[in-house]
Amino acid sequence: MRALIRAAAWPQNIRVLSQRWTPSRAVQLTFWLHGGFVIGLVLWPATWPWLLAAIIVNHLLLGAIGMWPRSSLLGTNLSSLPVSCKHNRYVAVTFDDGPDPDVTPSVLEVLDRYAAKATFFCIAQRAARYPELVREIVLRGHSVENHSDRHPAAFAFYGPLTLYREITNAQRTLSEMAGSTPRFFRAPFGLRNPFLDPVLAWTNLCYVSWTRRGFDQVSRRPDKVLARLTQGLSAGDILVLHDCSSPLRSHNKSVVLQVLPALLDHIVDRGLRPVSLPMAFSSQSIGSADA
C-alpha cells in the first residue's frame, strides 16, 4: 500500500505526504466494468441483461469485501504495524466506542499501572458529553483518534457526502476536546464501502483495522476474550477492545476490565511494549501493512 503519513514532532504533527487518492485495484476494476457496461449497451443493446448481471455481481462483491474488516481491497488498511515497529517489539492496544464514565477511568488506571500507552478511537458525540475524559486520556499520554461522529449502524451504506460529514464533524469535535487533530480512523464495526478510502484521503486520515480482536462486547467469557487476543500474539500486532459499558458482564464487572490486566501481563511477559499509534509511527512513514 502507498505511503500515507510521516510522523514528525509527536504527538501533534503527523503530517500527510500526499492527499491524492489512488483507487485500489478492486475499485479500478469497477470503474472499467461500468465503462464497459456503457459501451456494451451502445454496441450490443440486446445483451443488456448480461451486462446488468455483471454490474450487480460486481456490487455484491464490493459489499462482501466491505464486510471483511482486515481487507485492503477497498483501499489502504493498517491491520498491523510496520516492520520497524516489530523490531522495536511494539504492539498497539486500541479501544473503541468510548469514552465512557463507567469504564474509561478504570481502563486508564490499569494502563497507568503497567506504564502502557494506548489508542482510544472515540465516538465524537460521546466525547462531547464527557470532555473531561478525553482530556484525561491525552493527559496520561494516550492518543485520541476518530471513530466517527455518531457510530451509525448504517455507516457502511453511506455515500461519499454523508461519510465526509460524519468524519469531518468528528474531526472538529475530537480536535477541540483533545487539543490535537486525529490522524487515524476506524470505521464503526470495522465495516466500510468503496467511498470511504477517497474521503479519508481528502480528510488526511489513515485507516486502521486490527490484527486480532477479543469480541469483548459480545462475550461474557473473559478467558475466551483473552485467548483471542493472546493466541499467537507477536510484535507489530494491533489489538482492539472496547472502553464502553456493555450489557454483557461477568461477575458484575465489564469484561474488558477483567481482561486488560491479564492481557498487559502477557504482553510484558513476552517482552513487548504497548504503545499508541502515534508513538509507533513517530519516526518513520507508514508504509505497507498486510491485510
Instruction: Look at the block and give the residue holding cell 483507487.
Output: 23
Query: For the chain, how are helix, strand and coil distributed in percent, rounded to 5?
Result: 45, 15, 40
DSSP category for residue 232: T
Q: Which of 151, 242, 251, 265 is catalytic?
A: 242
Q: In what helix (H) or strand (E) does residue 131 lie, and over which residues does it extend?
A: helix 131-139
Provide the Cα torsion 195, 199, 205, 210; round to 10°.
Answer: -10
Catalytic site residue 242? yes
User: Are residues 201 and 160 in contact, defined by beta-carbon separation less than 8 angstroms?
Assistant: no
Reduce the DSSP state of residue 274 to 3 states and report it: strand
Catalytic site residue 34? no
Close Cβ partners of 245 (under 8 Å, ≥ 6 residues apart): 100, 102, 103, 254
Lookup: cell for 233: 500474539
* 25 burial via Cβ count (<10 Å: 0-12, 13-18, 19+): exposed
DSSP category for residue 17: S
User: Are residues 225 and 216 in contact, defined by beta-carbon separation less than 8 angstroms?
Assistant: yes
* DSSP letter string, 238-265: EEEEE-S--S-EETTEEHHHHHHHHHHH
Q: Which of 96, 97, 149, 243 is catalytic?
A: 96
Instruction: Look at the block and give the residue holding cell 461477568.
Output: 250
The count of residues in the chain is 291
Active site residues: 96, 242
